[in-house]
Amino acid sequence: MQHFLTTESWSQQSLQEMINFAKELKKNKFQPLLKNKSVALLFFNPSLRTRTSFELGVHQLGGQAVVLQPGKDAWPIEFELGSIMDGDTEEHIKEVAEVLSAYCDMIAVRAFPKFQNWQEDRQDKLIKSLAKFSTVPVINMETITHPCQELAHIMALQENMGDLKGKKYVLTWTYHPKPLNTAVANSSLMIASKFGMDVTLLCPNEDYLLDEHYMELGQTYSSHHGNRLTVSHDINSAYEGADVIYAKSWGALPYFGQWEKEKPIRDQYKHFIVDEEKMAKTNNALFSHCLPMRRNIKATDAVIDSANCIAIQEAENRLHAQKSMMTSLMNYS
List the interface residues with ligand CP, window 257-316 (CB under 6 A). Answer: 290-292
Of 177 and 292, CB closest to ligand CP: 292
Phi, psi of 70 (to 5 degrees): -55, 135
CA-to-CA distance for 180 and 249, rounded, in angstroms?
6
# residues near ligand CP by CB under 6 A: 9
Determine, following the binding rule CB under 6 A, whether residue 317 of this chain makes contact with ligand CP.
no
Determine, following the binding rule CB under 6 A, whether residue 180 of this chain makes contact with ligand CP.
no
List the interface residues with ligand CP, window 114-143 (CB under 6 A). Answer: 142
CA-to-CA distance for 7 and 132, rounded, in angstroms?
18
List the interface residues with ligand CP, window 49-88 (CB under 6 A). Answer: 49-50
Q: How many CB atoms lie within 10 A of CB 135?
A: 12
**Between the CA of residue 254 and those of 23, 81, 123, what are the distances in Å?**
40, 27, 16
Of 41 and 279, CB closest to ligand CP: 41
Determine, following the binding rule CB under 6 A, whether residue 48 of this chain makes contact with ligand CP.
yes
Determine, following the binding rule CB under 6 A, whether residue 320 of this chain makes contact with ligand CP.
no
For the CB of residue 110, give the shortest distance to ligand CP in the complex, in Å.
7
Determine, following the binding rule CB under 6 A, whether residue 149 of this chain makes contact with ligand CP.
yes
Query: Based on C-alpha coordinates, what's the Rg of the chain?
Result: 20
For the CB of residue 267, give the shortest distance to ligand CP in the complex, in Å.
24
Give yes or no for a contact between 299 and 324, defined as CB atoms under 8 angstroms apart. Answer: no
Residue 291 backbone zone (phi > 0: left; psi -120 to 50: alpha; other: beta): left
State whether residue 303 is helix, strand or coil. Answer: helix
For the CB of residue 48, give the shortest distance to ligand CP in the complex, in Å.
4
For the CB of residue 152, give the shortest distance to ligand CP in the complex, in Å.
8
Give yes or no for a contact between 95 and 81, defined as CB atoms under 8 angstroms apart. Answer: no
Q: Quick one: DSSP state of residue 268? A: G
Q: Specify the stretch interacting with ligand CP by CB under 6 A; choose among 43-51, 82-90, 91-99, 218-226.
A: 43-51
For the CB of residue 53, give the shortest distance to ligand CP in the complex, in Å.
8
Determine, following the binding rule CB under 6 A, whether residue 93 of this chain makes contact with ligand CP.
no
CA-to-CA distance for 251 and 253, rounded, in angstroms?
6
Q: Considering only residues 2, 16, 38, 47, which one is a binding residue for ligand CP as defined by CB under 6 A?
A: 47
Question: Which residues here bind ligand CP, judged by CB under 6 A?
Answer: 47-50, 142, 149, 290-292
